[in-house]
Amino acid sequence: MAFSQIKHGLRDEVGRHVIPRGFVINTNDHGGEVFFNSDDYVRMVRMGANTQVIRLELGKLSDFPGGKLEPNYLLKLDSLIAMGKHVGIKTVFKMTVYGVDKFVWEEFWQNKKNEYETYLDAWKVIWNRYADETSVLGYDVVNEPRKLTMKISYKDLTDKYLIPLYQKIIDESHKINANKMILLQSIFMNKGEGIDNNQYAEITAPINRKNIIFAPHIYQNKIDFIKPVMDRFDRESEMLEAPILIGEWGFPTFATTDTIIEGNLGQLKYRELYIRTAEVFDSMGVGSIKAWFLGNRSMQNFLPGGPSTWSIFSDKTDAGTVERKYITDVIARPFPQTIAGDIQSFLFNHATRTLDVNLKTDNSKGASKIFIGANRHYPDGFSVLIGDDLVMYYNPLKNVGLEIYKSPKEVDPSNFIWDMHSQKLIVLKWPKDKQIIDLKIVPGIRNFN
């Protein structure tokens, strides 16, 4: 368990153990352009986000038929990065093939018209523009690559086409800035060809490059397959020597789900499904990016249950404000966000509203941040237990910050700060350095049994 958690965690610029969590940010939807403001980014933070994945439109960055580089689009990207940076959110860019007249995967793999170079040129616009922007973590370079009608196995397509393309893209990106992370996905299998209800083909050969992250998607709606699929991803991660960051997750919501509580498409089923997914993610220590931080202006109609959406808000505005709380409360669960040291294990129990974290401290790395989300998970207040002898609590009726129930004399309580605005517990210095400690967040005030 301990090795798994550390293996999948990322490190920030000062070496703290970071669990990336956040949302896919669309620059447009079927209703047109999507716009966000600084308040939207505060909302993301208060839902536990420290990472955004901005979906790039190939048609606004490239010379593929129907596409052209649009300077105003780059300015829009600048503003999304800046708003995120202002509230402590790192940015990953993900390239989609939207916005061109057509994108034919079978032709792309053959590369007869130098499609790879055209694709690389689009990425180079982004790489050069943000080479020195420290809040840009990296690039998800090929989103959901497809096989479609090609007469080739998924393994051969992966080994002969996808992996060499990844190697070429990584090498070109690292010429510009070798410290940026490159996120990698596997082939998205044709409908009906998934294994264990998983539509992503397995990568079985190494890529042999540094600074890579394995970023699979999981849109699993069968609860018994969540752990087997994640176990397979774990094996791929080990072979690739790359930590996992779930690039997208969360089975889409049907139009009827907002009004149905029970039943096959009801809210209770979604909550159960999302909770189980969250438990598997957290037990492995992987970060995860939820699709989409978006209102419900449009729906897609490709599933047997009828119109559906990945939007986490139900109102018909572009940014959205009315939460689908049966999924958002699971998305916005408490977790150790940034830790000065090594996270050994963590898990949030949704039934008891208890967060358990086991970690090895390293005060030389600076401050730690634990997202608590008290506004939604602990409206009755919460208590912080570190080991057996340090107990603090927050009483929302008094609103005076953390209070001490008991503490050793040598511990300075001012090292523990409750940041109401960001809904985080900030630890400036751990009571014991270079040691294993247990941290627990429990509901209520002085509820220590």
Which superfamily does 341-443 belong to? Answer: Golgi alpha-mannosidase II (2.60.40.1180)
Instruction: Enumerate helices (H) and strands (E) in the chain, giving the number of each.
Output: 11, 25
| Per-residue pLDDT, 448 | 47
DSSP E strand boundaries for 198-282: 212-214, 217-218, 245-249, 253-254
* Spatial CA neighbour of 251 closest among 315, 183, 201, 304: 304
Burial of residue 150 (number of CB atoms within 10 Å: 0-12, 13-18, 19+): middle
CATH of domain 18-334: 3.20.20.80
Q: In this structure, which amino acid lies at residue 90?
A: K
DSSP 89-151: -EEEEEEE-TTSS---HHHHHHTTT-HHHHHHHHHHHHHHHTTT-TTEEEEE-SSS-B-TT-S
pLDDT in tens, 235-249: 999 999 999 999 999
Does residue 84 contact residue 78 with C-beta atoms inside 8 Å?
no
Rounded-to-10 torsion of CA 290, 296, 297, 302: 70
| Per-residue pLDDT, 449 | 45
Kind plus residue range of the DSSP H or E element containing 240: helix 226-240
Kind plus residue range of the DSSP H or E element containing 385: strand 382-386
| Residue 179, token pair as written in the block | 């410290």
pLDDT in tens, 333-348: 999 999 999 999 999 9
| Per-residue pLDDT, 264 | 84
pLDDT in tens, 173-196: 999 999 999 999 999 999 889 888
| Per-residue pLDDT, 3 | 41
Kind plus residue range of the DSSP H or E element containing 309: strand 308-309
Exposure letters 158-172 (e unless 16+ CB within 10 A, then b): beebbbebbeebbeb
pLDDT in tens, 310-335: 999 999 999 999 999 999 999 999 99
Task: Kindly report which listed range (30-34, 129-133, 175-179) carries the lowest average pLDDT score.
Answer: 30-34
Q: Is the pLDDT of residue 106 over 60?
A: yes
Q: In this structure, which amino acid lies at residue 197?
A: N
| Per-residue pLDDT, 2 | 35
**Length of the chain in terms of residues written:** 449
Q: In this structure, which amino acid lies at residue 256?
A: T
Strands 416-419 vs 424-427: parallel, antiparallel or unpaired: antiparallel
pLDDT in tens, 269-305: 999 999 999 999 999 999 999 999 999 998 999 898 8
Q: Where are the domains of the chain?
A: 18-334, 341-443
* Spatial CA neighbour of 250 closest among 284, 275, 287: 275
pTM for this model (two decimals): 0.96
316: three-class secondary structure by DSSP: coil
Report how far residue 107's alpha carbon sits from residue 116's, in angstroms, rounded to the nearest whole number.
11
Of the chain, the percentage scoring pLDDT greater than 70 comes to 98
Q: In this structure, which amino acid lies at residue 344?
A: Q
Does residue 186 contact residue 203 with C-beta atoms inside 8 Å?
yes
Report how far residue 39's alpha carbon sits from residue 373's, in angstroms, rounded to the nearest whole number.
17
Report how far residue 170's alpha carbon sits from residue 182's, in angstroms, rounded to the nearest whole number.
7
Report how far residue 253's alpha carbon sits from residue 85's, in angstroms, rounded to the nearest whole number.
30
Report how far residue 251's alpha carbon sits from residue 273's, in angstroms, rounded to the nearest whole number.
9
Distance, first Cα to last Cα, the chain: 26
Q: Is the pLDDT of residue 447 over 70?
A: no
Q: Is the pLDDT of residue 1 over 50?
A: no
| Per-residue pLDDT, 4 | 53
Q: Residue 5: phi, psi to the nearest 5?
A: -60, -50
| Residue 219, token pair as written in the block | 């849109």
Does residue 109 contact residue 64 with C-beta atoms inside 8 Å?
no
Q: In this structure, which amino acid lies at residue 260?
A: I
> Across the chain, what does the average pLDDT equal?
95
